[in-house]
């Protein structure tokens, strides 16, 4: 069974591969990215799959987000995948935190996914699958933190995990499942060349998790291989 998936941050890495795999399976893919004119790989992919539609969207521009929702009013979205994010400065240790960068990371990684859910909730509720997913990270797990540091990125993912949990409760009456995802350590621009798995492997696993998600699985945090991660 296919359907419609909206993917943010779709111009590279996991987002681009997610577009590729879902489009290849016959899904209608609404691919969103911040700088569409320079998203050459995504535009090339559009040439292969007529079921792939491209939209320019900066997820921190909420007026633009609202305009896109108006353009898509009445169109069911089976899976809303909040993949766009910003890592910020790497190697942030105690005493070396850039507060402005922290605010920027929180805006992209925590507030924007909530705003996407609020803005497109009617589209998701009108679909058959009714799934909202947020690309989190294992570094946001409090139970898994044994090394400290990483204040900026860690806190943004811990915070968005709490957003996921609250959404799973608040939207359950509308039949909407909400989950957090960990893609693994992936060989992308963010993960670097020393990462453990390819984008293809990560997305294949994430795709299975997304397609298996239902209300009993809502409100949980899943690894790309389907295993559950403690909050």
Q: Specify whether the CB–CB gap between 180 and 138 falls below 8 A.
A: no
Helices (H) and strands (E) in the chain, counts: 7, 7
Q: How far apart are the C-alpha atoms of 78 and 84, rounded to whole Å?
A: 18
Q: How far apart are the C-alpha atoms of 140 and 196, rounded to whole Å?
A: 19
Q: What is the structure's pLDDT at 99?
A: 97
Q: What is the structure's pLDDT at 163?
A: 98
If one counts every other C-beta atom within 10 angstroms of the C-beta of residue 1, the result is 8
Q: How far apart are the C-alpha atoms of 103 and 12, rounded to whole Å?
A: 24
C-alpha pair distances (Å), 91 with each of 11, 87, 151, 152, 154? 25, 11, 9, 10, 11
Q: What is the structure's pLDDT at 186?
A: 85
How confident is the prediction along the chain (231 residues), in pLDDT tens digits per residue? 699 999 999 999 999 999 999 999 999 999 999 999 999 999 999 999 999 999 999 999 999 999 999 999 999 999 999 999 999 998 889 999 999 999 999 999 999 999 999 999 999 999 999 999 999 999 999 999 999 999 999 999 999 999 999 999 999 999 999 999 999 988 776 666 666 789 999 999 999 999 999 999 999 999 999 999 999
Q: What is the structure's pLDDT at 195?
A: 67
* Adjacent-strand bridge partners of 179: 133
Q: What is the structure's pLDDT at 185?
A: 85
C-alpha pair distances (Å), 15 with each of 28, 93, 103, 134, 192? 15, 29, 23, 12, 16
Closest CA to 10 of 105, 81, 67, 75: 81
Could you state, in order of their start, the residue ranges of all structural domains in the chain? 4-223
The answer to whether the predicted template modeling score (pTM) of the entire model surpasses 0.85 is yes
Q: What is the structure's pLDDT at 191?
A: 61
CATH class of the domain at 4-223 = alpha beta
User: What phi and psi, each to the nearest 5 degrees, are found at residue 2?
Assistant: -100, -175
Q: What is the structure's pLDDT at 194?
A: 67
């Amino acid at each position: 069974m296919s359907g419609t998936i909206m993917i943010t941050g779709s111009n590279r890495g996991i987002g681009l591969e997610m577009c590729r795999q879902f489009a290849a399976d016959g899904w209608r893919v609404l691919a969103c990215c911040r700088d569409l004119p320079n998203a050459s790989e995504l535009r090339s992919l559009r040439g292969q799959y007529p079921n792939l539609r491209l939209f320019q969207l900066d997820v921190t521009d909420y007026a633009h987000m609202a305009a896109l929702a108006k353009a898509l009013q009445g169109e069911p979205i089976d899976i809303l995948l909040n993949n766009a994010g910003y890592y910020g400065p790497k190697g942030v240790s105690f005493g070396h935190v850039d507060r402005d960068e922290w605010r920027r990371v929180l805006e992209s990684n925590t507030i924007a996914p909530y705003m996407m859910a609020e803005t497109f909730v009617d589209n998701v509720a009108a679909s058959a699958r009714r799934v909202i997913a947020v690309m989190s990270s294992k570094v946001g797990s409090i139970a898994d933190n044994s090394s400290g540091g990483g204040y900026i990125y860690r806190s943004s993912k811990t915070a968005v995990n709490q957003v996921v949990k609250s959404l799973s409760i608040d939207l359950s009456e509308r039949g909407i499942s909400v989950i957090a995802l960990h893609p693994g350590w992936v060989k992308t621009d963010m993960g670097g060349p020393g990462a453990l798995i390819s984008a293809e492997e990560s997305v294949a696993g994430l795709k299975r998790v997304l397609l298996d998600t239902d209300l009993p699985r809502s409100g949980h945090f899943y690894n790309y291989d389907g295993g559950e991660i403690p909050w």
